[in-house]
Homo-oligomer: A and B are copies of this chain.
Amino acid sequence: MSKQSSLPWITPAGRETPARERLSVDAIVDAAYVVLNREGHEKLSMRAVAAELGVAVSSLYTHVANKDELIRQIWLRSFLASEVPEPTSDPEEWARRLRTWMHSIRDTLREHRDLARVSAGQHPFIPEALPQLERIIAFFRSVGLPEPIIAAAGDHMSTFIEGYVSEEQVWEERMRRLTPTERENVAESVAHYFGDLDPDDYPNLTDIGPTLMVHAEKDERFDRGIEILIRGFMSYL
């Protein structure tokens, strides 16, 4: 870099690096993602992000109004990254594309620890998100869904996926705190938990209680969940 007038192999006293590598919103969001992945959403603080960048906390506020806006930026990046499927008027093909789209959203939320919890409650009405929103509406419209349903469909989809992944990660967090031997016996202790109930008091729970909690075949549950939604959507065609 030619920022310094002194010769490059002579560093000015008291200054290790040329420094003043300019910050940017992008760099800040990058760092926030790193912190989020490594430490989880509870540890995602302005100080942690600043430390990740090797920068003072107060410097962040030149580029980002506050923590809420930083979180909105994090959400925005993942929202824009999602590949909205191409429109189609064939219901079967439409449902197939919707399914794989929902899977891909779930997967990106899964990849980044706690991104789901951070994303929940964000609205896609800010200007930067409009092109993506346009594509989403185009897709929902293409199969011939009535307009009032389209508005509900998008919300429904995102709240379901975010809620699902959040819950999944809460569960994983809880598992992470267990000892290895405890972890192995989870299925067993779940069975006991419901098995010990008095069948007279809890006829239904003793019956199907365990299936409520078994998160082993997680993907099955997700698939069943989105199938309920898709059937609901398709009933309006």
Residues of A near any B CB (own CB < 8 A): 117, 120-121, 123, 125, 130-131, 133-134, 137-138, 141, 147-156, 159-160, 162-164, 166-167, 170, 193, 197, 201-205, 208-209, 211-213, 220-221, 224-225, 227-233, 235-236
Output the least CB separation between A216 and chain B (Å).
13
> This chain: how many copies in the complex?
2
Closest B residue to A133 by beta carbon equals B205
The interface residues of chain B lying within 8 Å CB-to-CB of A151 are 208, 211-212, 221
Given A125-B213, A232-B232, does the pair A204, B137 have CB atoms closer than 8 Å?
Answer: yes
Cα separation A197 to B160 with both chains bound (whole Å):
30
The interface residues of chain B lying within 8 Å CB-to-CB of A160 are 156, 159-160
Q: Is the CB of A159 within 8 A of B155?
A: no
Q: Which of B162, B164, B204, B227 contacts A138 (CB 8 A)?
A: B204
Output the least CB separation between A101 and chain B (Å).
17
Q: Which of B149, B154, B197 contacts A224 (CB 8 A)?
A: B149
The interface residues of chain B lying within 8 Å CB-to-CB of A236 are 228, 231
Q: Is the CB of B211 within 8 A of A163?
A: no
The interface residues of chain B lying within 8 Å CB-to-CB of A131 are 201-202
Q: Which of B147, B166, B227 contacts A211 (CB 8 A)?
A: B147
Closest B residue to A193 by beta carbon equals B125
Cα separation A154 to B204 with both chains bound (whole Å):
14
Best-buried of A205, A211, A233 by chain B (most CB within 10 Å):
A205
Q: Is the CB of A228 within 8 A of B232?
A: yes
The interface residues of chain B lying within 8 Å CB-to-CB of A213 are 125
Cα separation A196 to B233 with both chains bound (whole Å):
30
Output the least CB separation between A140 and chain B (Å).
9
Q: Is the CB of A130 within 8 A of B163?
A: no
Output the least CB separation between A123 and chain B (Å).
8
Output the least CB separation between A172 and chain B (Å).
13
Closest B residue to A117 by beta carbon equals B121
Q: Is the CB of B121 within 8 A of A170?
A: yes
The interface residues of chain B lying within 8 Å CB-to-CB of A137 are 204-205, 208-209, 212
Output the least CB separation between A118 and chain B (Å).
13
Pairs of residues from A and B, 3 with the lowest C-beta to C-beta distance, nearest first: A159-B163, A232-B232, A228-B232
Cα separation A156 to B150 with both chains bound (whole Å):
19
